[in-house]
A and B are shown apart, each in its own frame.
Chain A
Amino acid sequence: MRTGQTDDDLMAAFRAGDRRAFDELFERYRQPVWAFFRRRVVDPSRAEELAQDVFVALLNAAHRYEPRGAFRSYLFGVAFRTMGAARREARNHEALAVDAGGQTTSTSDPAAALWVRDALAALDEPDREVLMLREYEQLSYDEIAVVINVSVNTVRMRLFRARAALKAALDGRGQKRRA
């Protein structure tokens, strides 16, 4: 594992013909990209296909990649667009089960996880996406703005609105317990 190399170093190495650099990037982002789709798609096999599509797109577009921002935001930008295309395709053909909420895992509190999933699903889609990109994908405001192509102020507004709505929906669950 090339722990000392940044993502951009690895992309540069891959562009120069080093296949192992791509494999390292894949290992770094395999789980985050999978989780991105798993929380947004009902069918796990479909989530897997979409995750695979992201890495294929990354591979095919590597020669055009320019390190203008964080690689992470570039990658999730690809994932976000892939998700958007899948949703449009699902709407057009009604054959693919693409949903706002994917499966919860039994390793977490199932009831709490389901509750969170349902509460997120109840948010407006633009607000939900901003919240999920922040909370799960850990993107900065600037990175989210680039990924979804809106201003940073819009990101702040949507994120605040989503968090307030979620707080109201969850009604302080767990807060007093931690206090």
Chain B
Amino acid sequence: MTTTHHLPAEDAMAFFDGEQTDPGGRTAAHVQSCATCQALAQDLNSVSALVSEWTVEPTPDHLVAPPGHARRIPLSRASKLILVAAACALLYIALPFLPATPGSVRQIEDPAVFSTHWTRQPRVDLGLQIGGARVIVVAFMDWLCHPCKKYSLAYDPVLSRYERDRPGQVKLIVRDWPWNQACNPRVPKTMRGHEGSCMAALAVRIARDRGKAEAMIAWLFENIERLILMSEEEVSAAIKQELQRLLGRLDFDAAAAAVRPAFNQDLAEGATLAINATPTFFINGVRIPMDGQLTPEYFDRAIALELKSATR
């Protein structure tokens, strides 16, 4: 968006929004023949379209119209403060005894309360046992998903530190969950920007078998902005090219066929676990949903709690 155009950009924006009067139609005539204004219109449309991606769930059924003549009892400021303080105190006391809700762990600020709450989270048995690992973190990922990149990069230092300080005790297992129906019929539709997700998943698996997964993942994350804008053919070609660069000459189809059974196994497991978001993490079976991802600090704290309970 430019601000140096002779029709001020804010005026053009207001015109496109239908908020600018245009006596004589001079602005309309101008913008029709002005490439800068046309580009601005496209920018505005793209921003609006993207913003509209964020929808919210339907209104809860129990949000009902208040009764007709209900009026609140006027309270003094002091009374309100006393009531809120009492509610806070009650909440603090009662929180450990409330039923566990997985989505609420992120909002707990007090480490002691977090600890109590964490231990009350429901767990699923993922049937995993890996050597001496006491904590197994399972991550369902799509390599062309921004939150996956964000949390993967945020959690990496935490996991690296555990590997350095307590080698072998904390293991990360990555599972594939591409948002693309071409390879994952369990997702409701192929999400926009995820046309290359199947190829990316296979490429990481092929690279992993040859000790190059980290380099492949790093390349995908570095190029995610470019890759999500490509057509399926373009993104497939780009990923294959990078894979060739990393691994040298490769029969991609044969390599893909070799990793596909394990890939399909991930999808089956994801379906069983009703994965509906990426990334979805499980820390020793405790599910961390997308709307309540832990900050790195609390991710670290959760692992520490699991290690502590495993050593008892």
Contact = CB atoms under 8 A, between A and B. Distances in A.
B87 A39 contact: no
A3 interface: no
A105 B192 CA distance: 16
Contacts of B72: 56, 60
A19 B10 CA distance: 44
Contacts, number: 175
B10 A160 contact: yes
A52 B19 CA distance: 32
Interface in A57-80: 59-60
A110 B13 contact: no
Contacts of A109: 53, 179, 191-193
A120 B53 CA distance: 12
B241 interface: no
Interface residues of B, number: 60
Contact of A52 (B46, B63, B290): B63
Interface of B: 1, 9-10, 13-14, 17, 19, 42-44, 46-60, 62-63, 65-66, 68, 70-72, 84-85, 87-88, 91, 104, 107, 109, 142, 145-148, 150, 179, 191-194, 225, 228-229, 276-278, 290-291
Nearest to A110: B277
A113 interface: yes
A94 B88 CA distance: 9
Interface in A73-114: 89, 93-95, 97, 102-114
Contact of B66 (A55, A120, A131): A55
A159 B13 contact: yes
Question: Which of B53, B56, B84 gathers most chain A CB within 10 Å?
Answer: B56
B47 A112 contact: no
Contacts of A52: 63, 66
Interface string A116-138: 11101000000000010011100
Those 8 A-B pairs whose CB atoms lie nearest each other, nearest first: A26-B65, A175-B46, A112-B53, A38-B56, A95-B88, A34-B59, A111-B145, A97-B107
